[in-house]
Amino acid sequence: MEAIMERLEEMMTFAKVVETKSFSATAQALGTSKSLVSKQISSLESALGVRLLNRTTRRMSLTEIGAAYYEHCARIAQEIDAAAETVTQLQAEPRGVLRLTSPVIFASLHLAPAMQSFLKRYENVEIELNANDRIVDIVEEGYDLAIRITDHPAQTMVARVIAPVRWVTCAAPAYLERYGIPQTPQDLLQHRCLVYQGIPALRSGWHYRIGNKEVSLAVTGNCRVNNSEVLLHMALDGMGIIMFPTYILGPHLKSGRLQAILPDSIANPDMSLYATYLPNRYMQPKVRAFIDHLMEHFGPQPHWDDF
């Protein structure tokens, strides 16, 4: 083990020499002597049986083998730094302003209680919430975190699944008494469907899985809305058929104000609730703590499905 640690130290010294292009600068950066730096490089070359550096009185350059070896040494040095920084970050107390964005109705019904318990738990954190049904660009607008309900999180972001999101197609009993109950997804084409435009995936149609078969329908209706609360009230008033997640519909399905239809068809089968954030090298403690808190609060079996 001692020999391994000695070799690792020599590799780190070699990487620093390449980066500073100077034995003297390396010694200063590492808090050691120039002679020890030279000794470590010579020892490394002897152990490997190759020359890593071409050295003259005026200049120093990498050999071909030295250049290839440096790439590995530099990568190891970065991993060591990352490991140390990770420990520091994990030990750090979450603090500062956490800026996040969420769909309006989810924020109102479910995120607010989770935020309250989080703030009681972490007194050095403040939260700024933008409840908005549009897709907020968290890079351009400076947000730490975005709550998304989607089946395809952006590949440029890190996406953590917080909880599954189950969708139900339903309508008020008065509507179904007047227009009849659809028996298959295709029957929806003959009905008034209330289309939610807040999620891009739904603008192209409603999606179902029946057994192993996928069905997408360009449903029609006389109302398209980008606000989920408005659309919910219209469905409750018997204006048409709606397809929404159970985190919105649960209480209304339980009370009977809305009636579920198409029990054999799974709507939007791959949708989930995600916490998405930038793929920074080190996650800030406030972001990590909030995501962990959401997972404790909602997942893996969300309470809104208890109806």
First to last CA, the chain: 59
Please give the residue that has the higher pLDDT: either 225 or 117.
Answer: 117
Beta bridge partners of 96: 125
- For position 81, what pLDDT does the model report? 79
Q: Report how far residue 222's alpha carbon sits from residue 244's, in angstroms, rounded to the nearest whole number.
A: 18
Banded pLDDT at 236 (limits 50, 70, 90): very high
* Phi, psi dihedrals of residue 233, rounded to the nearest 5°: -60, -35
**Residues 180-199, mean pLDDT to the nearest whole number:** 90
Cα 292 from chain centre: 12
**Residues 224-236, mean pLDDT to the nearest whole number:** 89
Banded pLDDT at 147 (limits 50, 70, 90): very high
If you ran DSSP here, which 8-state letter would residue 94 be given? P
**Residues 195-206, mean pLDDT to the nearest whole number:** 76
> Is 305 within the bounds of a domain?
no
Tokens of 130: 């933008």
Please give the residue that has the higher pLDDT: either 103 or 204.
Answer: 103
The answer on 71 and 23 residing in a single domain is yes
Q: In a 3-state reduction of DSSP, which class is residue 122?
A: coil
> Is 132 within the bounds of a domain?
yes
Residues in Cβ contact with 10 at an 8 Å cutoff, skipping those fewer than 6 apart: 40, 41, 43, 44, 47
Q: How many residues does the chain have?
A: 307
CATH classification at residue 238: 3.40.190.290
Mean pLDDT of the chain: 88
Count of domains in the chain?
A: 3
If you ran DSSP here, which 8-state letter would residue 187 be given? G
**Residues 105-127, mean pLDDT to the nearest whole number:** 94
Residue showing tokens 């947000």: 143
Residue 162 reports pLDDT greater than 90 = yes
- For position 245, what pLDDT does the model report? 93
Residue 1 reports pLDDT greater than 70 = no
Instruction: Tell me the whole-structure pTM to 2 decimals.
Output: 0.64
Banded pLDDT at 246 (limits 50, 70, 90): very high
- Write down which residue in 91, 112, 138 finishes a domain: 91
Residue 201 reports pLDDT greater than 70 = no
127 is in which domain, residue-wise? 96-165+271-298
CATH classification at residue 35: 1.10.10.10
The answer on 194 and 155 residing in a single domain is no
- For position 85, what pLDDT does the model report? 74
- For position 259, what pLDDT does the model report? 96
